[in-house]
């Protein structure tokens, strides 16, 4: 049975958010959108927006590596400013730094490598996990109409009393009606990278679930490092394989992959997150904004 939530909006609105607007030679602005329930910008959204901005600045190249650390929360009800810095620009590769700002405060910082790509000299890739296809997996409604999410085995469950399982979550994702814009497709792939890795880390542990996040435990994504191995079509099914390899010291680490419907490896990414108690002895937290 599909899990349903109150609507955040439509995939077209998410595309509008990711499609940053140039406001200067190296400056880009985003639009704001929030349903008001939890107006905190996802870190993976900022990473995806940086990939789109980099693609706008270096047409003819595509992002092959993008990493970002998330330094403070940003308000989803306000626009973001992305400032690029050209670190190098050759005939094939370009290196860019990026800062994400809001009200003049740095919220995130990252590095991107872009390439024109080249013919293969050698070629191999890890195989996709042996899981059912999207038609055989239950849908999960993340409140974005026009984006299909189907979780293998229904493993994504925020209930602390849900059955425990291995620290793995596989999910099929597909968007509808996307423009023919390679940077946007790659940015949308990146936008989903922050969604399920912490849930994968919680899955083996009884009595812990995401309904406790921002209420009794503090969770959040601290850093994402993404490698994009080939051109992306986010309007075709993409299989996200999340494997949490460590949970210790209040931090989690996940090593993840994205395959297409044929099994080809599209991207690899790692996520560092936090799962820790609130440490102030009883302060009343606002679950709408607390990390």
Tens-digit pLDDT profile for residues 21-79: 999 999 999 999 987 776 899 999 999 999 999 999 999 999 999 999 999 999 999 99
pLDDT at 1 over 50: no
Decide if 31 contacts 16 (C-beta within 8 A).
Answer: yes
| Neighbouring residues of 212: CB distance < 8 A, sequence distance ≥ 6 | 160
Decide if 130 contacts 95 (C-beta within 8 A).
Answer: no
What is the pLDDT confidence band of residue 212, given thresholds at 50, 70 and 90?
low
**What is the distance between the alpha carbons of residues 245 and 247, in angstroms, rounded to a whole number?**
7
Decide if 151 contacts 207 (C-beta within 8 A).
Answer: no
| Neighbouring residues of 6: CB distance < 8 A, sequence distance ≥ 6 | 35, 37, 143
**What is the distance between the alpha carbons of residues 215 and 217, in angstroms, rounded to a whole number?**
6
How many Cα atoms sit within 13 Å of 44 on the Cβ side?
21
**What is the distance between the alpha carbons of residues 184 and 190, in angstroms, rounded to a whole number?**
10
pLDDT at 141 over 80: yes
Per-residue model confidence (pLDDT) at position 187: 98
Note the pTM of the prediction, 2 decimals.
0.92
Tens-digit pLDDT profile for residues 153-172: 999 887 787 889 999 999 99
| Neighbouring residues of 104: CB distance < 8 A, sequence distance ≥ 6 | none
Report CA-CA distances (Å) from 35 to 6, 7, 146. 9, 8, 16
Q: Which residue has the higher pLDDT, 214 or 180?
A: 180
Tens-digit pLDDT profile for residues 84-104: 999 999 999 999 999 999 999
């Amino acid at each position: 049975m599909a899990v349903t939530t109150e609507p955040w909006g439509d995939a077209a609105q998410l595309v509008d958010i990711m499609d940053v607007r140039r406001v200067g030679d190296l400056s880009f602005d985003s639009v704001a959108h929030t349903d008001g329930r939890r107006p905190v910008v996802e870190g993976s959204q900022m990473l995806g927006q940086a990939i789109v901005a980099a693609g706008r600045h270096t047409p003819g190249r595509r992002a092959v590596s993008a990493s970002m650390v998330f330094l403070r929360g940003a308000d989803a009800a306000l626009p973001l400013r992305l400032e690029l810095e050209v670190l190098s620009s050759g005939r094939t590769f370009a290196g860019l730094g990026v800062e994400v700002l809001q009200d003049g405060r740095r919220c995130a910082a990252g590095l991107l490598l872009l390439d024109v790509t080249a013919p293969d000299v050698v070629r191999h890739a890890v195989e996709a996990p042996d899981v059912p296809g999207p038609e055989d997996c239950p849908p999960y409604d993340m409140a974005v109409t026009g984006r299909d999410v189907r979780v293998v085995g229904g493993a994504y469950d925020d209930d602390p009393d849900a059955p425990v399982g291995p620290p793995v979550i596989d999910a099929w994702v597909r968007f509808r009606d996307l423009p023919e814009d390679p940077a946007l497709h790659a940015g949308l792939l990146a936008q989903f990278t922050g969604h399920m890795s912490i849930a994968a880390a919680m899955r083996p542990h009884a009595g812990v679930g995401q309904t406790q996040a921002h209420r009794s435990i503090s969770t959040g994504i601290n850093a994402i490092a993404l490698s994009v191995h080939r051109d992306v079509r986010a309007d075709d099914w993409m299989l996200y394989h999340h494997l949490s390899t460590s949970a210790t010291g209040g931090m989690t680490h996940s090593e993840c992959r994205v395959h297409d419907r044929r099994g080809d490896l599209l991207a690899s990414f790692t996520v560092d997150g936090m799962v820790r108690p609130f440490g102030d002895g009883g302060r009343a937290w606002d679950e709408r904004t607390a990390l």
